[in-house]
Amino acid sequence: MGSVFATKPDVHIVDSVTGDNIPTPFYIQFVPGSVISVVTSLESDEQNDPKNLNSIKAEPHILPSDKRFKDRISESEKNRYIPLFRGMTDVPVKGDPVLLCTIGKINYYLGPLNTDNVPTLNNDNLYIPRQDMPAEGQEKATETEAMGQSLNFVNTEHRRLSKKYKPELDGESITYNEIHGDQIFEGRHGNSIRIGSRDIYPYLILSNHRTEKNGEESLADGSLISITSNGTLQQHFSGYYDTLQEKEIPGFQLASDTVEGNGRTIGNMVQSVNLIDDSYPYIYEFGKPGESYVGGSNQILLHSDRITINSKRDNIFLSSINDIHLGAGRTLTISTKEDLIIESRNIYLGSPIKNKSNVVMEPMVLGNTLFEILEELTDALSKTMSMSPYAGGTTFPLMDSKKVLMSTTFLGIKKKLLNIKSNYHYIEPNDTTNKQ
């Protein structure tokens, strides 16, 4: 019963035979209805039929109110409706208002309807509360049951997403707040996908676990993926309160640089390596309007409590045309079953601090070369003799204060040299012919 003929009282035609005014019938393709039950999985379907997935049973609001109140339409298979669209479905909950139709003898639903303009639960204003089905052990039905709504659904006060005017991104020459809206897909409990733009610059924002009172995506969201083509991260997202550190973060900051007492920050390293006095513009002002790269200032932000990148079958390629900066508030670890290979012209352990001439980095020692030199030195010392002026220039082996031959001592030192070289870790030898 998703499609019916109805009449409009104030529109008539004149019967050519009798001359009487006859109400003009017209075809209603969609009729409003209320969801009775929902199939979200095979476990929730008594028939275990995959064809019923995401289907609903619904009560069309086409019967007289007194009849609907007294004689509710049963949950028979004739009242089952499947999603109207093939590839996109907004599965309702029990009690949601929907639109119903029948096309080609197949029942479809469209909705839920946005009667209260909230993303969570919208009341069905056409539903007649029922008083005939109290919960077990109760004398009368609760308000939720009376409205035909699910007792399992937890309603929240999440606000519908909005879009505030931002002069630095939307342009200052336009009429205030006269900006275009975005295409937004909203879940019921603080998750969304926004496909939109600032001025002519597109963006895509995925947000999850947004707080109830927040009507915009922000850095306070549980997880945030931002894909922008213009504007800095500071311009797109405001500051937030970090519950872990229990302090206010004024705007976007690299998490490692917010840890109190951390003197080895990405900001300090960037400042040192690039010989600049202030790393803030270098890190945080990318995308600033008027300072875009050729083709735009496209950037992606992944912001969450934990991020895991896992390749289960093949490789991970992490590449940058300029620099790659890694920072941790505590420890950075690299674990591998086999080899760790770092291919670089120069490798520094610790900050090079290129802009401070009074600090000089010291080179590493080549193990094999050092071993050979120390071995030659111990061999030479073990053969060293002393010459006595009182015995006609006779030579004697060197001895320590305890009259132990020094050659014995040097032999012991030579044996210790065997442990000077690592069995696992290696560095590149010097190559005077290769200047790269």
In sequence order, the β-bridge partners of residue 194 are: 184, 205
Instruction: Look at residue 73 and tell me whether its pLDDT is greater than 60.
Output: no
User: What pLDDT is recorded for position 359?
Assistant: 66
pLDDT digits (tens, 9 = 90+) for 377-404: 888 887 877 766 665 667 777 777 777 7
Min mean pLDDT across 105-114, 170-179, 212-221, 363-372 is at: 170-179
- Do 270 and 282 form a contact (C-beta atoms < 8 A)? yes
User: What pLDDT is recorded for position 9?
Assistant: 59
Token digits for 405?
A: 């031959």
Min mean pLDDT across 70-74, 80-84, 111-115 is at: 70-74
User: What pLDDT is recorded for position 80?
Assistant: 93
How far are the Cα atoms of 58, 131, 148, 392 from residue 142, in angstroms, in the given order?
21, 9, 10, 121
Residues 136-150, mean pLDDT to the nearest whole number? 70
pTM of model > 0.85: no
Model confidence at 172, pLDDT cuts 50, 70, 90, reads confident
DSSP string over 293-340? PTT---EEEEEES------SSS------SS------SS------SS--
- Do 242 and 218 form a contact (C-beta atoms < 8 A)? no
Residues 141 and 130: their CA atoms lie apart, in Å, by 8
Instruction: Look at residue 57 and tell me whether its pLDDT is greater than 90.
Output: yes
